Chains A and B, each alone.
Chain A
């Protein structure tokens, strides 16, 4: 008898837990934005994450953050979980452009506004608010300045590019911008550019750059698809006596893209010739403005692509424009 009563009590608890009336929502429930990002491995993503999270919090939104550590399936599962929590909007930095489409379709089905920061969806099958830098143009601006420096040498140079993960549209765009300049000045090069894969991984970049420099010791024109690789580049070039300031005989004409603190310091000190700058704070403002406006207007599947045209910070314009670069502002504590 007591056992049966105990069983009934346990069953009752279970039923109660399942059917417990949910606490009534507060009259003025804070709007919630879910922010899913792929990792915080580089200064750019750290600064971008901070800019977005702080802006949303300042505007009175509750922010739920999820880091998927570059695992695509995990990001998908996390966002599915976020959508079931009935968040009011979702901003993601996706693992890659293809995943941004898959996740976007889920958000569209759930009728929740969906924003993508900096790493655009690979196609427009899902409706999204997208902020993306014009990587091709920004890279071309940076490499064009490098080419002008190469012309001053009065000889041909051996070009190389450290390529990002080509699953990332950003990496594809930067590579295209580099090649635009290669094609623009066909007589400037000793041969075809040497491609050095990095897959956006410092270790992979290090190993491949070491091999490339061993195989091609004459490399003297090097563009990296992301500024986070500059410490890697220094570690390879310095022991070979090639980490020299601009104007020195052994200087390797060097360019990058992102605009982080490291790049700012290197341009200031003369090691780096130019870097393409994504206007990070403006991009963060654009995405938060767009998503909060959509949430406030109760739009379910807003769609808008917003471009950041960026610019190239070079040794020539450093004094005039360095504070336009987010990395320099961080470096100077501004």
Chain B
């Protein structure tokens, strides 16, 4: 039997170098051989770029059936949908690395959306707003306190970021200092801040935002959309924070083993609190982008987006058990999630089918993460 095309296998009597060119003078196994393909598959599966490869493959497979997927406008729309989700998902990433979770990001976004809009709105209809608690103080027929001011929008955005961070700080202190379960703390804060967001404007949306605010979600600097600049800026900053700073190293340590981290002198409570502050900050920043693209402050903003925020992280391999997660993974997860939603919409599937598919994909991703972890452990 010729040994030309049979590569060496464990226990092969020909010895470990059987099939090697150098020793037996035969050509190497073809690239499409089973062993090579399995090795390629294993490499891809274990690769950090697995979700990115999956996204490209997905586009390649669907492309011939969905030509409109590659339409310029569709690609532009898809890309524009990435940035706000990326910003808020990055915030969630920090918390997930600590083995925590932040359910309040959505209500954080809603409350900061309302607050920002109240500050800069240029006109308010008394019929709609006269019964709200802010009427006569922060809100009048002529709008909010910063309406028409040169620095009104920057101050409003800064206020949103500060309040978002403060909400994160409250969550962080409760989880880190008082050792309350993260799920419970952030669930309660989600309910509380969601109710406050609705109470302040009496559930009214706040329109008539100034152009300078709206442009943050829809405008561009030269050819570069502002949301892209914000999203990429946050991603780069977060990546550097996690990979190049002491905070980042400590964050992973706390997520991997909080007890050992504390014993080794890491200020665990402070690190966890800071993670929640970052989650709150990112939620508020995402709220700026969403509110601007919707051209209004909305007390119900992002109400149903939590699954997207966590799902994008989980798909990409960020572990819910903590200690594992990268900003690049989150970015890949968001790209895949947005791509998935876009293609399912283009396929004109019923909305419940889309939600079912999304749920199955997230479940599959979580399962795959377990398999990858095992495969990685075996290969060591």
Contact = CB atoms under 8 A, between A and B. Distances in A.
Contacts of B128: 166, 172
A215 interface: no
A64 B207 contact: no
Nearest to B300: A72
Interface in B340-361: 341-342, 345-346, 348, 350-351
Contact of A172 (B71, B127, B290, B341): B127
A84 B74 CA distance: 6
Interface in A53-101: 64-74, 76-78, 80-81, 83-85, 96, 98-99, 101
Contacts of B301: 72-73
Contact of A73 (B31, B64, B127, B305): B305
Nearest to A17: B63
Contacts of A65: 348, 350
B64 A167 contact: no
B378 interface: no
A249 B205 CA distance: 43
Contacts of B30: 2
B246 to A, nearest CB: 37
A69 B351 CA distance: 8
B65 to A, nearest CB: 11
B207 A122 contact: yes
Interface residues of A, number: 42
Contact of A64 (B67, B71, B205, B348): B348
Contacts of B351: 66-69
A240 interface: no
Contacts of B342: 81
A102 B295 contact: yes
Interface stretch (A18-26, A284-292, A300-308, A315-323): A18-26
Interface string B233-244: 000000000000
A81 B204 contact: no
B293 A69 contact: no
B60 A69 contact: no
Given A66-B345, A99-B294, A102-B294, A71 B304 contact: yes
Contact of A17 (B70, B127, B305): B70
A135 to B, nearest CB: 14
Contacts of B207: 98, 101, 122-123
B288 interface: no
Given A73-B294, A84-B74, A102-B295, A96 B205 contact: yes
Contacts of A20: 63-64, 67
A201 to B, nearest CB: 11
Contacts of B67: 20, 22-23
B232 to A, nearest CB: 20
Nearest to B302: A73
Nearest to A96: B205
A165 B204 CA distance: 8
B178 to A, nearest CB: 30
Contacts of A17: 59-60, 63-64, 70
A2 B31 contact: yes
Interface string A155-175: 000000000011100001000
Interface string B29-49: 011000000000000000000
B294 A72 contact: yes
Contact of B304 (A74, A80, A167, A172): A74
Given A66-B345, A66-B351, A167 B302 contact: no
Contacts of B303: 70-71
B21 interface: no
B161 to A, nearest CB: 20
Contacts of B60: 13-14, 17
Contacts of B298: 72
Name the residue in A73, A78, A123, A199 with the highest tally of chain B Cβ atoms < 10 Å from its Cβ.
Answer: A73
A210 to B, nearest CB: 18
B30 to A, nearest CB: 7
Given A17-B60, A18-B70, A166-B202, A81 B302 contact: no
A98 B205 contact: yes
Interface string A8-44: 0000011001101011000000000000000000000
Given A13-B60, A23-B67, A81-B77, A67 B345 contact: no
Nearest to B67: A22
A296 interface: no
Given A68-B351, A69-B304, A72-B301, A167 B345 contact: no
Contacts of A74: 304
B203 A167 contact: yes
A261 B78 CA distance: 42
A77 B304 contact: no
Interface of B: 30-31, 56, 59-60, 63-64, 67-68, 70-71, 73-74, 77, 81, 127-128, 198, 202-205, 207, 290, 293-296, 298, 300-305, 341-342, 345-346, 348, 350-351
5 contacts: A3-B31, A17-B63, A65-B348, A85-B68, A85-B346
